[in-house]
Amino acid sequence: MPVLKGDLSAVFEPRRVALVGASDQPGKTGELFWRNLASFPGEVVPVTSSAETVAGHKAYPTLRDVEGEIDLAVVVVPAAGVPAVIRDASAKGVSAAIVISGGFAEAGPGGIRLHDELVAAARAGGVRIVGPNCFGVQNCDLPLNASMAAGTPRGGGGISLVTQSGAYGMAIHSLGLDEQIGFAKVYAAGNKADIGDAELLRYLADDGASRTLCFFLESLPDGRAFFEAACRATPRKPVIVAMTGRSVDGVRAARSHTAGLAGSERVWRAAFEQAGVILVRSGLEMMDVARALDSQPPPVGRRVAVITNSGGTGVELTDLLADEGLEVPELSVKLQDELRLLLPPLASPGNPVDLTPVWSRFAELYPLLVDRLARSGEVDAVVPVLLQRSASDERVAMGIRDAVDRLRADGVRVPVYVCWVAPRTSRPNADLLQAGGVPCFEWPERTARALGHAARYGEARAPASAGAVGPAAGSVAASAGSASAGSALGSASAGSALAGVPGPALAPGWLGIDAAAEVLAGTGIQTVAGRICGTAADAVVAADDLGYPVVVKAVHPTLLHKTEAGGVRLDLGDPSAVQAAAAELLMLASGAAVLVQPQVPGTELIVGGLRDPQFGPTVLVGLGGIFVEALDDTALGLAPLNHEAARGLVGKLRGYPVLAGARGAEPIDLDAVAAVITAVGDLLVTTPEIAELDLNPVLAAPDGCVAVDWRILVENPPGQDQERPQDSPRHAGETRRRPS
């Protein structure tokens, strides 16, 4: 297969590699990489000005001097010399370079200058850069070990890992050896001077060897692009993300309720969920889930059978599975009767199936029960718990492995996971199972967490969910197998008043009440009529015209949150009440006015939107009104959202049963609420000047909904040709530490 200029195949599948900084002197970084590249089936060319040969191979002083084409340069020279190497690579026509060297954007002002020189040199010749300041790259099947690790993890597996941390890449290498994990590719991103996570996700999603995709992220500047790539990848392959460095730096509570509620962590969590990404708490959990999904079919439901010879361990695992939303159902009477004939007298055929400590029969019973339960049709996954006696018997491990092989040969797709609670001396039997494609998870907690993620992933892709809007219910991407997967990402929702239409020209700052209402009306969002008045007398006239009862609100630029400022008076039923309320409110701030509106009934909701720095237009819905922050019952989604996805957001609220008509109450018009959510998302997409938007409250009734308070903040966003450095992984070393 030819290596295309600029294509990432040069990184993962080069034909000819140059090692810049090569050495055969023990203790040198160049010597370590020379040894690591020895298994590469193509040619490795040493480049160094310090010697004429390296390990008997002719060495070249620079990349320009190398005879023939070079697909990939691995650069291990000190940081100060790297820009010159990349200039040589550009002149030579090298497709890609892995820059191992540190001392760039993470090292202060001098390093930032070197970073900029490196990027400029690479762009001049179209050289793709991995790193700098990275662990390297491994293709375990080729094999290619262009990394610091002494050897590649076991190949033949489908797990591909992208990690920003080089040390974590080393840890994964060790884990792969210890737990017989089969990898396809390992990529350590380092400072991400060029290649971003979204591009890597797109490449690996199309890579046949990569079946399960893992990302260990410290930052995600190309968040929107990653989200869109994930929407297209997850219907075909699991995408698992462990995100570190959680922060609240995206919270802007002083500006709007929406911004205060939608902190940066909430936004990326919502984005990952919407895209069908599996979000985990740690790197260890990420690898457990990857093993579960890469080596076994995903469960298609939440019913789990547990086989154990320890009642206490079985009960603990049952509780932990319940914490994950899974169930260990009691088996049918017919199945229990069948199992009772196989089991010793004191054993329990319920679920968990407890064998009791009949050590002499473990090698017979564990494989037999795995087979019977998987074929029963009553469970979606089987978990044999192996403790000291059962784990130390090689025949048990071999029997379970062979039983799983027979299940797969017969087309039975029920997965089998082993809960391993055993001493280290029994570890070879766990290796036997894992090498045979049966994952072993140490202790019930790790087992339950991995199985919970696997079950949710499998359930979302079961045939019953084929009508969902995306990889999981509520996502914006099209269903798995759809020819238009992710198509909803590119335009405003069908039927929107603004679909495909440029937004209005707006002046920066908080829009006035009337101007904001006009913008909302253009999207089909209904607002309550009202009149702004400068005197108490005018307020009384307005109330008489609008009809009682009325609401009177203070209006002033400094009164951003009216209720908190004491600027709202409700249920005013006569002119004298309006006169008194307006007079009080006009005194709250110099130059204040009052807004008079008819009071309307309904359940209070908040619908808002903001433009997240990493993920772009984001919509929020929640239970609203004066308790919005206190209740904190909200759901977020990335815009645009179609109608079904918008209803899905409402369905995520803890208070949803109340909205849907719990205990005989009349339900609100959920379709009308969904239409408002969709319209807010479309407005953000088509009008980039809008930075934040609050509709709080929206009063929802059985026959529609209406916004009774609204605020829109307008800012001047950068033009498409005015990219800000912090928005692009090509410009920002993501581990950059600015001098204090």
Residue-wise pLDDT tens digits, 210-245? 999 999 998 888 899 999 999 999 999 999 999 886
Does the structure show a pLDDT above 60 at 130? yes
Does the structure show a pLDDT above 50 at 41? yes
- CB neighbour class for 348 (10 Å; exposed up to 12, middle 13-18, buried from 19): middle
The whole-number pLDDT of residue 664 equals 76
- Determine the average pLDDT of the residues in 155-166: 87
Rg (CA), the chain: 31
Backbone angles phi, psi at 704, to 5 degrees: 140, -170
The whole-number pLDDT of residue 677 equals 98
Q: Which of 23-32, 398-407, 606-615, 714-723 has the lowest mean pLDDT?
A: 714-723
Does the structure show a pLDDT above 70 at 308? yes
Residue-wise pLDDT tens digits, 640-655? 999 999 999 999 999 8
Q: Which of 63-77, 149-163, 372-386 has the lowest mean pLDDT?
A: 149-163
The whole-number pLDDT of residue 505 equals 76
- Determine the average pLDDT of the residues in 283-311: 95
Q: For 299-460, which CATH class?
A: alpha beta
Which of 470, 71, 85 shows the shortest CA–CA distance to 273?
Answer: 470
How many alpha carbons fall within 13 Å on the CB side of residue 568? 16
**CA–CA dist 139, 186 (Å, integer):** 7
Which of 336, 319, 218 shows the shortest CA–CA distance to 268?
Answer: 218
Q: Is the dihedral of CA 499, 504, 508, 514 positive or negative?
A: negative
The whole-number pLDDT of residue 497 equals 40
Count other C-beta atoms under 10 Å from residue 272's C-beta. 24
% the chain with pLDDT above 70: 87
Q: Which of 41-55, 483-497, 588-602 has the lowest mean pLDDT?
A: 483-497
Which of 453, 420, 452 shows the shortest CA–CA distance to 439?
Answer: 420
Does the structure show a pLDDT above 90 at 182? no
Q: 602 near 706, Cβ under 8 Å? A: yes
The whole-number pLDDT of residue 549 equals 96
Architecture of domain 1-144: 3-Layer(aba) Sandwich (3.40)
**CA–CA dist 520, 682 (Å, integer):** 11
The CA distances from residue 371 to 184, 243, 403, 406, 410, in Å, are: 30, 38, 6, 8, 11
**CA–CA dist 211, 584 (Å, integer):** 66
Does the structure show a pLDDT above 70 at 252? no
**CA–CA dist 9, 29 (Å, integer):** 25
**CA–CA dist 207, 228 (Å, integer):** 18
- Determine the average pLDDT of the residues in 668-687: 96
CATH of segment(s) 529-598? 3.30.1490.20
Does the structure show a pLDDT above 80 at 545? yes
Does the structure show a pLDDT above 90 at 438? yes
- Determine the average pLDDT of the residues in 688-706: 94
**Could you tell me the pLDDT band of residue 587, with boundaries at 50, 70 and 90?**
very high
Does the structure show a pLDDT above 50 at 498? no
Q: 396 near 362, Cβ under 8 Å? A: yes
The whole-number pLDDT of residue 242 equals 93
Which of 606, 717, 620, 608 shows the shortest CA–CA distance to 267?
Answer: 620
* Token pair for 357: 């400590």
Q: Which of 313-322, 499-508, 512-521, 537-546 has the lowest mean pLDDT?
A: 499-508
Domain ranges within the chain, ordered by starting residue: 1-144, 299-460, 529-598
Report field, pTM of the whole predicted structure over 0.85: yes
Asked if 1-144 and 529-598 have one fold, the answer is no
**DSSP count for the chain of H helices, then E strands:** 24, 30
Higher-confidence residue of 718 and 43: namely 43
Q: Which residues pair with 569 in a beta bridge?
A: 552
Beta-strand relationship, 634-638 and 239-243: unpaired
The whole-number pLDDT of residue 243 equals 87
The whole-number pLDDT of residue 564 equals 72
The whole-number pLDDT of residue 501 equals 47
Does the structure show a pLDDT above 90 at 319? yes
**CA–CA dist 270, 262 (Å, integer):** 10
Residue-wise pLDDT tens digits, 709-723? 999 999 976 443 344
Q: 596 near 531, Cβ under 8 Å? A: yes
Higher-confidence residue of 54 and 245: namely 54
Q: Which of 137-151, 470-484, 618-632 has the lowest mean pLDDT?
A: 470-484
**Could you tell me the pLDDT band of residue 132, with boundaries at 50, 70 and 90?**
very high
Higher-confidence residue of 337 and 629: namely 337
Which of 311, 336, 224 shows the shortest CA–CA distance to 272?
Answer: 224
* Cis check: omega of the bond before 299, within 30 degrees of 0: no
Residues constituting the chain: 740
Does the structure show a pLDDT above 90 at 546? yes
Element (H, E) at 490: none
Q: 161 near 187, Cβ under 8 Å? A: yes
Higher-confidence residue of 417 and 468: namely 417
Residue-wise pLDDT tens digits, 193-217? 999 999 999 999 999 999 999 999 9
**CA–CA dist 12, 35 (Å, integer):** 18
Higher-confidence residue of 68 and 249: namely 68
Which of 92, 87, 64, 82 shows the shortest CA–CA distance to 131?
Answer: 82
Describe the chain by its helix, strand, coil percentages, rounded to 5: 40, 20, 40
* Token pair for 38: 């020895």
Higher-confidence residue of 144 and 477: namely 144
The whole-number pLDDT of residue 3 equals 58
* Token pair for 618: 């984001």
Q: Which of 133-142, 589-598, 626-635 has the lowest mean pLDDT?
A: 626-635
**CA–CA dist 707, 335 (Å, integer):** 57
Does the structure show a pLDDT above 50 at 471? no
The whole-number pLDDT of residue 473 equals 33
Amino acid in the structure at residue 582:
A
Which of 162-176, 259-273, 349-363 is modeled with the greatest confidence?
349-363
The dihedral over CA atoms of 278, 282, 285, 287, expressed in degrees to the nearest 10, equals 90
Compute the mean pLDDT over every residue in the chain, rounded to the nearest whole number.
87
The whole-number pLDDT of residue 174 equals 78
The whole-number pLDDT of residue 2 equals 52
**Could you tell me the pLDDT band of residue 732, with boundaries at 50, 70 and 90?**
very low
- Determine the average pLDDT of the residues in 137-162: 89
